[in-house]
Structure 1
């Protein structure tokens, strides 16, 4: 979809970069812009910057960057067109009709409409005579009719084509159904993905049905089946029931393992409960929670698998800047069972008593050792030192160390010194890794965006400098065109950037990330932003000419090397042929 320059400029004028970013990130004023913790990767020291003068953002930690459209693309998991529409709707700006026809946007719209129709179909089936198995299951789980309605729960009939035929009658094609992960196509035949399952619609923050989870009724496998990733759904980036919980969080979210735990908690009055979507917790989901809460209470099953998952979740949640507490449930395997057995008031007391993640990890470590045996006591102390070394606050670290030292009958100062030494060694290792990565970046090694940079480092640096110079000084373009052409660039990525920028300039436009955004992925736009933010230029035509000449010289050098290599290859080939001829004659 092509948006006009005037429309995109008006959109950027209305959608101020800092204002939009502050809806998702806590920003503070810093120099010519704002700084905060990056929403795209886990960090403890702010490296996410918003620049007011260029209406752009850049993270010096993970390399995410771009304009306000790129920001919305990444944070809301939208494609370019839908990000523009999302921003336009927020700003009260009407999208021009001539820009409304786009195949990707049309498919997304069709899938969302189809998912809503499927959710209504499953709900209707639950209420029908053939939905009796689903009704029995929900009754057994003690769900109220109001809860079933609120969550839009349903039932997928035990037929191979019930949903497929229903959607066909509404005008949807099998190709669209497959794209929505509602049918499976195998060996030329298609059938419903969800059969004889109670259904859980997954709803995004805009109220769209984006996917489904289904629990089998009976002994079938898998027990839970979820939609695959689609153009409207990425299971690693969403949370079940966040559409309800975000308005009831009050600074705290309860993280559960499954859909039924969440529904049971909401029915019991704990409307700040969420769950992952059939996967282990991801960094993206952790950062998503940090938008709506400062604290997360991990409420996983008390079995071994649940405790292992809780341990992993703690690391991700704390990395996202969240305070973490861990719920210890007695008398029930999961929150749903506990509430059924002991009631909501007892569960509320459990929530209040839930300890910090540090307490949880210390107790978990302690359970592995007999502290009356000196060797095991020493091993526990080492593990406790490692755990406490992760505590950022020096005061908190001292409090935990003092409490544990007294319990272990060792001196607090010695224990604390060992913890601090452990933390220092850990930081030294992390810094060494950072330096290694920085050096690799400077040399263009392992560059996913521009993989040719390491091979043509000198040329690539000149290409990037020239791109920045012409972005800031588009009046240089005609002069530079007399020296160099886009095909003279040695690295493909920089050639694409230069060509896109050059086309804008020669058509009379001003280079802008918004005008180039549709041509590049968010990751590529981040790299372009990095060039603009981090590459210093003198803004002189002489520097631009020098860069162009360096690129040409490097191109000629590579051409000569290739010619020499070809000559050597041909010479060796000739010698081998002569040797073969000699052996035959002999």
Structure 2
């Protein structure tokens, strides 16, 4: 059963999509709409639009769209009910106690409960005499008992089923344990603990839920690390370790590290805004998450070659955000954990404070590639340096040109001419590529259904327009008369047509939120695109009749070759030819 109508309507009136979206995306007013960089894919030019009049959003780049519930579902990785709960809590509303199918939410809650019990089990075992091996490991790594407790660190026993038996004694089913990722299914359909003889780090989300675990061996056995696979409550590409602490640090910056131990050591040393990815390279989803919590990020990656490659990848990912990048140059150790232990907190703090911005870091790397005592070295350096400077704001460009001119004894006017030529070429190429991308994406989104089903574009266009007019001008439904919805060729259009018509016939309000969980995320995206794409009409009823006419004509064309649509004389003539 869906959520009751009155609750959804009250939630709609108390929820403003621009307020919701603006907590995650920097929006800029453009008439009755607001635009910004899409939080669901990387882009340099804003194609993400929020429509206040329809309380919806749509991205012309990736095709994401929907209402406030759909936005929260996607950006917070929640199911429908949990997204509604979050919005209701924000609006100061109580969720109804009945009237909806909460099976997925119940499953999520059970997984979170299992994870919490597993975390307690691992931590208790670590603090017991049997867990001394794991406890000594953490102490030898320089962690204090207070830090061990703060992060809920634990130890998984050297047993195949200790956790399984413990959770079973608490009333949890084996299937639920498998869903949570703490128990695995063997080749012979036997069940065993995912984590065995490992020190354990729980991963906790910003709401305080234990959503996953990372386990590390204490010897040289393989695999060295085992992490929870993706579950209903956890997607590793979307999460950041220790963000639950860092978000409350009072700072507007985050220190991004590679490993859990780096983060834990930094928090212990007082750098309580440190975070790390969850066993993967930095992802665009994590970058967008950082963008919500910080104005600046310090890339405290390892000093080795792999770490420096990761720095460059991160810098590229952050280009699509407003986050400022700073990169420290580490000496005296391979990673933050080792540097803090060897040189102390103050030395490490000095390295962080001396971190270069991303431009300075890149220019320094280029400088180290070339011999600036030679003419060719200067030419090569200027060529590569201007590529970076071309991406900056005019004031920044001027400052860097002045510096390079002074350091290399090159006329600033010459550098400026070369820079302007480069920028002009870049703009021409980017404008062409962006326009081409937007047109291709939009065309693909609009006509994909036609190509997939072989339905003529004319009919697809008419069916889409029919839905738009029904949503925006419900009175058009009076023109349907004996219209047969079986003439609609698109399955989604049939589904949406039926849902819209039912609400019109019941005298209910039409808006995306009112449909509840009737549609999938992709279907909501398509609806959002339709109702926001040239939705106004000078003569809605005439246009609606035209759509009906086109749909009927195309339907009849498609079915005209069928013997059942032939006249008796035509059928006899065909039959006589077949028998000659």
TM over 0.5: yes
CA distance in 1 between counterparts of 2:287 and 2:87 reads 24
1:27, distance to aligned residue in structure 2 (A):
4.0
Return the alpha-carbon distance in structure 2 between the equivalents of residues 60 and 446 of structure 1.
11
CA distance in 2, matches of 1:179, 1:413: 65
Q: Structure 1 residue 47: deviation in Å?
A: 4.4
Distance 1:235 1:337, change over 3 A: same
CA distance in 2 between counterparts of 1:126 and 1:446 reads 57
Map residues 149-298 of structure 1 onto 2, 5 A cutoff: 149-187=149-187, 188-298=189-299
State the distance in 2 between where 1:244 and 1:265 align. Answer: 12
Is the 1:517–1:525 Cα contact (8 Å) retained in structure 2? Answer: no
Partner of 1:566: none
Normalization by structure 2: what TM-score? 0.91
**1:307, distance to aligned residue in structure 2 (A):** 0.3
- Matching of residue 508 in structure 1 with residue 507 in structure 2: yes
Contact 1:445–1:454 under 8 Å retained in 2 = no
- 1:404 aligned counterpart, secondary structure: helix
2:566: which partner in 1?
none
Q: Secondary structure at the match of 2:216?
A: strand
State whether residues 51 and 532 of structure 2, in contact with CA within 8 Å, keep that contact through their aligned partners in structure 1: no
Gaps in structure 2 of 5+ consecutive residues: 564-573
* Cα distance change of structure 1 residues 407 and 249 upon mapping to structure 2, 3 Å threshold: farther
**Cα deviation, residue 123, structure 1:** 0.5
Deviation at 1:422, TM superposition (A): 2.7
Deviation digits for residues 481-513 of structure 1 (CA, Å, limit 9, x no counterpart): 52341x322233333322332233234323221
2:20 is matched with which residue?
20
Q: Distance in 1 between matches of 2:310 and 2:562?
A: 54
Quote the residue 1:404 is aligned against: 404
Residue 465 of structure 1 contacts residue 537 of structure 1 at CA under 8 Å; is this kept in 2? Answer: no
1: CA distance, partners of 2:288 / 2:443: 31
Distance 2:83 2:421 in 1: 47
Match of 1:518, SS state, is coil
Corresponding position of 2:551: 551
CA distance in 1, matches of 2:422, 2:276: 34
Shift of residue 237, structure 1, vs aligned partner: 1.0
Unaligned runs of 5+ in 1: 564-570, 579-586
Distance 1:290 1:107 in 2: 30
State the shift of 1:403 in Å. 1.6
Q: Which moved more, 1:512-521 or 1:541-550?
A: 512-521
In 2: Cα distance, 1:420 partner to 1:99 partner: 63
Of stretches 131-140 and 422-431 in structure 1, the one that deviates more from structure 2 is 422-431
Query: Are positions 1:82 and 2:108 aligned together?
Result: no
- Deviations 1:248-268, CA, capped at 9 Å, x for gaps: 152111111111111111110
Please provide the CA RMSD for this pair.
2.6
**Structure 1 range deviating more: 469-478 or 282-291:** 469-478
Native 8 Å contact 2:239 2:277 kept in 1: yes
Contact 2:205 2:239 in 1 (8 A): yes
Give distance in 2, aligned partners of 1:524 and 1:145. Answer: 51
Q: SS of 2:213's equivalent?
A: strand
Counterparts in 2 of 1:381-420, with a 5 A limit? 381-391=382-392, 393-420=393-420
TM-aligned CA deviation for residue 289 of structure 1: 0.9
Alignment of 1:13-162 (within 5 A): 13-27=13-27, 29-99=29-99, 101-162=101-162
| Alpha carbons 1:452, 1:492 under 8 Å: kept | no
- Decide whether aligned partners of structure 1 residues 472 and 92 sit closer, same or farther in structure 2, where only a CA change above 3 A counts: same
Q: How far did residue 56 of structure 1 move?
A: 2.4
Alpha-carbon contact 1:445-1:453 (below 8 Å) kept: no
1:389-426 Cα deviation digits (max 9, x unpaired): 222x0111222233223333333232233333333333
Contact 1:118 1:163 in 2 (8 A): yes
Deviations 1:363-392 (A, max 9, x none): 22233333345445433333222222222x
Residue 354 in 1 paired to residue 355 in 2? yes
In structure 2, distance between residues paired with 1:76 and 1:443? 29
CA deviation map 1:233-288 (0-9, x unaligned):
11111111111111215211111111111111111011111111111111111111
Change (3 A) 1:368 1:446: farther
Distance in 2 of aligned mates of 1:479 and 1:452: 30
2:494 maps to what in 1? 495
In the alignment, the residues of structure 2 paired with residue 65 and residue 14 of structure 1 have an alpha-carbon distance, to the nearest angstrom, of 20
Structure 2: distance between partners of 1:231 and 1:447: 33
Name the structure 1 match of 2:474. 474
User: Structure 1 stretch 444-453 or stretch 350-359: which is displaced more?
Assistant: 444-453
Q: Whole-Å Cα distance in 2 between the matches of residues 133 and 121 of structure 1?
A: 16
Equivalent position SS for 1:254: strand
Q: Structure 1 residues 454, 27: CA separation in 2 closer, same or farther (over 3 Å shift)? A: farther
Residue in 2 that maps onto 1:315: 316
Q: Which residue of 2 aligns with 1:6?
A: 6
Distance 1:186 1:134, change over 3 A: same
Instruction: Name whichever of 493-502 and 258-267 sits farther off.
Output: 493-502
1:116 Cα deviation after fit: 0.5
Map Cα deviations across residues 466-486 of structure 1 (whole Å, 9 max, x no partner). Answer: 11100012232242252341x
Rounded Cα–Cα distance in structure 2 between residues aligned with 1:129 and 1:401? 64
Q: CA deviation at 1:447?
A: 6.2
Deviation of 1:560 (Å): 4.9
Contact 2:61 2:438 in 1 (8 A): no
1:465–1:535 contact (8 Å) kept in structure 2: no
Displacement after TM superposition at 1:34 (Å): 4.1
Measured in 1, the distance between the counterparts of 2:443 and 2:525 equals 19
SS of the residue 1:155 aligns to: strand
C-alpha contact 1:447 1:453 (8 A) present in aligned 2? no
Aligned length: 565
Determine the C-alpha separation between the residues in 1 that align with 2:275 and 2:481.
57
CA contact (8 A) 1:456 1:491 kept: no
Distance 1:234 1:450 in 2: 33
Q: 1:275 to 1:442 in 2, by over 3 A?
A: closer
Q: Secondary structure at the match of 2:319?
A: helix
| Distance (Å, rounded) in 2 between the aligned partners of 1:264 and 1:89 | 35
- Alignment correspondent of 1:520: 519
2: distance between equivalents of 1:431 and 1:54?
A: 30
**Does the 8 Å CA contact 1:70/1:517 hold for their aligned counterparts?**
no
Per the TM alignment, residue 443 of structure 1 is displaced from its structure 2 partner at its CA by 4.1
Label 1:414 to 1:450 Cα distance change in 2 as closer, same or farther (>3 A): farther
Match of 1:457 in 2: 457
Q: Secondary structure in 1 aligned to 2:238?
A: coil
